[in-house]
Amino acid sequence: MSKYIINGGQSLNGEVSIRGAKNASYKQIIASLLSDENTNLYNIPQISDVKITESIAQSLGSKIIRTGEHSLSIQTQKITSTVVPHGTGEKSRTSFIFAAPLLARNGQATIPAPGGDRLGARPLDRLFDCFTTMGINTEFKDDLMIFTTQKITGTHYIFNKPSHTVTEVVVMIAALATGQSIFENTAMEPEIDDLITMLNSMGADIKRQKDNPKTIIINGVSHLHGTSHQVISDRNEAITFACAALATKGSINILRINPKIIQTFLQSIEKMGAKVDAGTDEVTVSWQKQLIAIDITTGPEPGFMTDWQAIFSVLLTQAIGVSNVIERVYPSRFQHLQFLNQMGAKTQQYNPKIANPKEYYEFNPDTDKPEYFHAVKIYGPVKLKAAKLSINDLRAGACVTLAALTAIGESTIDNVEYIERGYEKLADRLCSLGANIKYIKT
């Protein structure tokens, strides 16, 4: 059990480069299995989610060579197994993405069921329903999902609600399907467009409609070749460092990030009083005066990203006034509040009055529970106090780390392995900005 020992109260200042996106890199490793030729991927972060994906890919027949600190060479000449193994498969809540290359190349896939998690059950019914229209059968046996097909055919499918990962899976499969596929009401996150760029460089024929970008049109091809592709930068990392600087009254120049892909966040902190200087592939975020409260609502792209709200909550504890956060994407995503409250935050969870919840919320109604809250009031500013905490979630871990940097005194954070799922050398990089963090790895 690894831990951070953080002595907070130091203002963070300096420059940091952003690594490749977690939510793009491991999916692009999986996408490489669609071809039997060699693929080179660059800007791959050294995080545990990527390592788990590599392990699963190797068990299915992939040969993976690390060609640099952040580069991989991947070739899967033959799929040697269509079964994602227990253990590694269960560690990845999105191991079902492997269904795409396994079905496209071998017509079958057996994958451990991901089930629900602390955020609520994943909306896989949207995927299974779409699969049916493409000639793919889904069967559940014990704790396994078994997919089979004789022939994958193109389809015209309208999603009732957009889903980031489901969109990526159907795009991968449709790239090698027979005929044309038209998907409507798809997700529009930049990581999806980065995947589409990669697939098109492999010979796929995929495009978004210019006048309606939620519609993706795919003409299936018979074969995909290898490619070389650089993974998009991680939006979550960028806003984490930005919030760390603002919460500690500092200034940071964030390199290797396109400000356009975090525009909603940048507009929000500007409204709060932060100074933002955006370039082409960098942005400087600076604290200039006392920040003021703001109301945010999470939602699909181009909305305020759900992955940001836990980290952003630290900033709201330091703002003057009452901020409201409404979570629309997941039924239960306020686990971080218990930690912030232990550190002196003042919060009040509630359920907003919504005329039509089924339309308003992005999660499936049957995944909701009476005990879940979908909004919170955060009162500020407060002086956060040091604490000893044990985390159990990636974003909550990042949230607590920022809170500890803001608090005066020594905080201990256990189970930082959760943070390593999505951040490469976070402690070292924060220390380079002036943080005082001792990383004890066991």
Q: Is 404 helix (H, G, I), strand (E, B) or coil?
A: helix
Assess whether 322 and 396 both reside in one domain: yes
Closest by alpha carbon to 218, among 181, 252, 249, 253? 181
Domain boundary among 230, 259, 290: 230
Assess whether 424 and 345 both reside in one domain: yes
Domain harbouring 94, CATH code: 3.65.10.10
* H or E segment and range at residue 181: strand 180-184
**Residue 328 to residue 162: CA distance in whole angstroms:** 12
The answer to whether residues 250 and 62 touch, using CB atoms and an 8 Å cutoff, is no
> How are beta strands 409-414 and 216-219 bridged, if at all?
unpaired
| Sequence-distant (≥ 6) Cβ neighbours of residue 298 within 8 angstroms | 304, 305, 306, 308, 309, 325, 326, 327, 328, 329
Assess whether 245 and 342 both reside in one domain: yes
* H or E segment and range at residue 334: none
**Residue 19 to residue 43: CA distance in whole angstroms:** 6
Assess whether 187 and 319 both reside in one domain: no
Assess whether 40 and 172 both reside in one domain: yes
Domains of the chain: total: 2
Question: In the prediction, which pLDDT does 161 show?
Answer: 92
Assess whether 131 and 275 both reside in one domain: no
- pTM, rounded to two decimals: 0.95
What's the DSSP call for residue 408?
B
Question: In the prediction, which pLDDT does 86 show?
Answer: 85
Amino acid at 44: I
| Sequence-distant (≥ 6) Cβ neighbours of residue 154 within 8 angstroms | 134, 174, 177, 178, 179, 180, 181, 218, 220
Assess whether 152 and 269 both reside in one domain: no
Assess whether 416 and 281 both reside in one domain: yes
pLDDT of the chain, 442 residues: tens digit per residue? 899 999 999 999 999 999 999 999 999 999 999 999 999 999 999 999 999 999 999 999 999 999 999 999 999 999 999 999 987 655 666 789 999 999 999 999 999 987 444 444 456 889 999 999 999 999 999 889 999 999 999 999 999 999 999 999 999 999 999 999 999 999 999 999 999 999 999 999 999 999 999 999 999 999 999 999 999 999 999 999 999 999 999 999 999 999 999 999 999 999 999 999 999 999 999 999 999 999 999 999 999 999 999 999 999 999 999 999 999 999 999 999 999 999 999 999 999 999 999 999 999 888 899 999 999 999 999 999 999 999 989 999 999 999 999 999 999 999 999 999 999 999 999 999 999 999 998 8
Domain boundary among 207, 230, 253: 230
**Phi, psi at residue 68, to the nearest 5°?**
-175, 175
**Residue 345 to residue 342: CA distance in whole angstroms:** 7
Assess whether 28 and 143 both reside in one domain: yes
Assess whether 216 and 115 both reside in one domain: yes
| Sequence-distant (≥ 6) Cβ neighbours of residue 97 within 8 angstroms | 27, 30, 165, 168, 169, 172
Domain boundaries, position 362: 3-19+233-440
Assess whether 293 and 342 both reside in one domain: yes
Domain boundary among 230, 250, 265: 230
The conformational region for residue 29 under phi > 0 = left, psi -120 to 50 = alpha, else beta, is alpha
Question: In the prediction, which pLDDT does 118 show?
Answer: 46
**Residue 171 to residue 183: CA distance in whole angstroms:** 9
Assess whether 279 and 223 both reside in one domain: no
**Phi, psi at residue 188, to the nearest 5°?**
-125, 20
The answer to whether residues 122 and 367 touch, using CB atoms and an 8 Å cutoff, is no
